[in-house]
């Protein structure tokens, strides 16, 4: 015969199971841990950054509870026009580099993703392995590898000089914007490839074959059928490439070699050397808001399920 303590424990366990079996309990168990993680690592730091961007910072680097717009005014402060301020130049350059990187990833990944979706099998496994092979190493190591490739004495220029194709270092293979674009394209190419493949893999290719049988050219089939059906993958992959490229600072730090300054470097420098957290928070808000606008526009055409390739 069970003791009263055992019966009480079984009763409590049964009551606990019944509470978890309810709709609210199931939702709490499944969503709760992720929600706590999201609040602690995303919403809390973001809220703090927004608050700091509107607060006064004392000379002893204390955050004063005095609302101000001075941090935002400092972004565009200077003797010349707004477009000549360091922040505006860095922000415009970041958008340009991120846009070119996104377009390059899209142009290079789309044909490969189409081939993988049509072939599949061993071809898919081999290509994906080769694409992801460099990512078995740290991001810092990959950035430093491109650092060795570029520059006046880099592998690319020295190879061209050795084989006699050029007499001296080629400027385009030096450190600067082209090198940064190449490094970022290499870093985020797999995100674009996998996003496009997720859309193309679920596409009915008989529609394309039917269009070709009815007289549509390859370009017409691409424009009227393939691209509209893979639009979620295109938008999703573009977001996955553009967003991290805008705020990149490790790759520009290596491959820019102080010749160019993206907004991520500007924010890092102001916080690291001057501890100007008000300036850094205000500058970061421009990036956050612009990215949020991009997501809102993207979700007008696709849903979250579509971005996942569902």
Q: What is the CATH number of the domain that holds 244?
A: 1.10.3720.10
* pLDDT tens, position by position, 21-34: 666 556 666 666 77
Determine how β-strand 63-67 pairs with β-strand 55-57: antiparallel
Inside any domain, residue 66: no
Write down the pLDDT at residue 79. Answer: 75
Same domain for 23 and 133, yes or no, is: no
What stretches of 56-120 show up as alpha helix (H) in DSSP? 70-75, 86-119
Domain containing 14 equals 4-53
Same domain for 264 and 168, yes or no, is: yes
Same domain for 183 and 136, yes or no, is: yes
- Residue where the block lists tokens 């899209």: 106
Inside any domain, residue 129: yes
Inside any domain, residue 67: no
Same domain for 168 and 289, yes or no, is: yes
Write down the pLDDT at residue 11. Answer: 63
Inside any domain, residue 62: no
Same domain for 19 and 133, yes or no, is: no
Q: What are phi and psi of 65, to 5 degrees?
A: -80, 60
Write down the pLDDT at residue 25. Answer: 56
Nearest to 250 by CA among 183, 167, 158, 301: 183
Inside any domain, residue 192: yes
Same domain for 254 and 148, yes or no, is: yes
pLDDT, tens digit only, all 310 positions of the chain: 455 555 556 565 665 556 656 665 566 666 667 777 777 777 888 888 889 889 888 877 788 888 888 888 888 887 778 888 888 999 999 999 999 999 999 999 999 888 888 776 777 788 888 888 877 888 888 888 888 898 888 888 888 888 888 888 888 888 889 999 999 999 999 999 988 888 888 777 777 778 777 777 777 777 777 788 888 888 888 988 998 899 888 889 889 887 888 998 898 888 888 888 888 899 999 888 888 888 787 777 666 555 554 4
CB-based contacts of 101, cutoff 8 Å, min separation 6? 181, 184, 185, 188, 241, 242, 245
Same domain for 119 and 264, yes or no, is: yes
When divided into structural domains, the chain yields a total of 2
Same domain for 144 and 261, yes or no, is: yes
Inside any domain, residue 75: no
Q: What are phi and psi of 57, to 5 degrees?
A: -115, 125
Inside any domain, residue 72: no
Q: 75-80, long-range: CB within 8 Å, 24+ apart, which pairs?
A: 75/279, 75/282, 75/283, 75/286
Same domain for 188 and 296, yes or no, is: yes
Same domain for 44 and 122, yes or no, is: no
What sign does the CA torsion over 37, 38, 41, 44 have?
Answer: negative
* pLDDT tens, position by position, 156-167: 888 888 888 888
Q: Name the strand (E) or helix (H) holding 65.
A: strand 63-67
Q: How far apart are the first and last CA of the chain?
A: 55
- Residue where the block lists tokens 């809390």: 44
Same domain for 86 and 205, yes or no, is: yes
> Looking at residue 223, what DSSP letter applies?
I
Q: Please, which residues bridge with residue 67 across strands?
A: 55
Nearest to 52 by CA among 67, 74, 31: 67
Write down the pLDDT at residue 21. Answer: 61
Inside any domain, residue 157: yes
Write down the pLDDT at residue 310. Answer: 44
Same domain for 180 and 86, yes or no, is: yes
């Amino acid at each position: 015969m069970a003791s009263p303590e055992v019966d009480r424990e079984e009763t409590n366990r049964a009551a606990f199971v019944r509470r978890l079996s309810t709709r609210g309990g199931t939702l709490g168990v499944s969503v709760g841990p992720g929600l706590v993680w999201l609040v602690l690592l995303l919403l809390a730091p973001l809220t703090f950054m927004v608050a700091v961007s509107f607060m006064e910072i004392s000379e002893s680097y204390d955050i004063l509870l005095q609302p101000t717009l001075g941090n935002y005014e400092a972004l565009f402060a200077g003797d010349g026009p707004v477009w000549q301020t360091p922040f505006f130049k860095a922000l415009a350059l970041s958008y340009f580099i991120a846009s070119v990187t996104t377009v390059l990833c899209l142009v290079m990944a789309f044909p490969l993703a189409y081939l993988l979706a049509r072939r599949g099998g061993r071809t898919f496994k081999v290509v994906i392995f080769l694409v992801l092979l460099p990512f078995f190493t740290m991001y810092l190591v990959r950035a430093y590898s491109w650092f060795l490739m570029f520059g006046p004495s880099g592998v690319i220029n020295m190879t061209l000089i050795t084989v006699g194709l050029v007499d001296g270092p080629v400027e385009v293979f030096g450190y600067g914007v082209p090198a940064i674009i190449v490094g970022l394209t290499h870093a985020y190419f797999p995100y674009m490839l996998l996003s496009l493949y997720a859309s193309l893999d679920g596409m009915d290719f008989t529609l394309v074959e039917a269009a070709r049988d009815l007289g549509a050219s390859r370009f017409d089939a691409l424009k009227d059928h393939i691209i509209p059906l893979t639009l979620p993958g295109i938008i999703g992959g573009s977001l996955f490439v553009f967003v991290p490229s805008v705020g990149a600072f490790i790759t520009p730090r290596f491959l820019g070699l102080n010749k160019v300054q993206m907004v991520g470097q500007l924010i890092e420098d102001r916080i690291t050397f001057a501890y100007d957290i008000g300036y850094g928070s205000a500058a970061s808000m421009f990036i956050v808001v612009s990215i949020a606008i991009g997501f809102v526009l993207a979700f007008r055409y696709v849903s979250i399920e579509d971005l996942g390739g569902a």
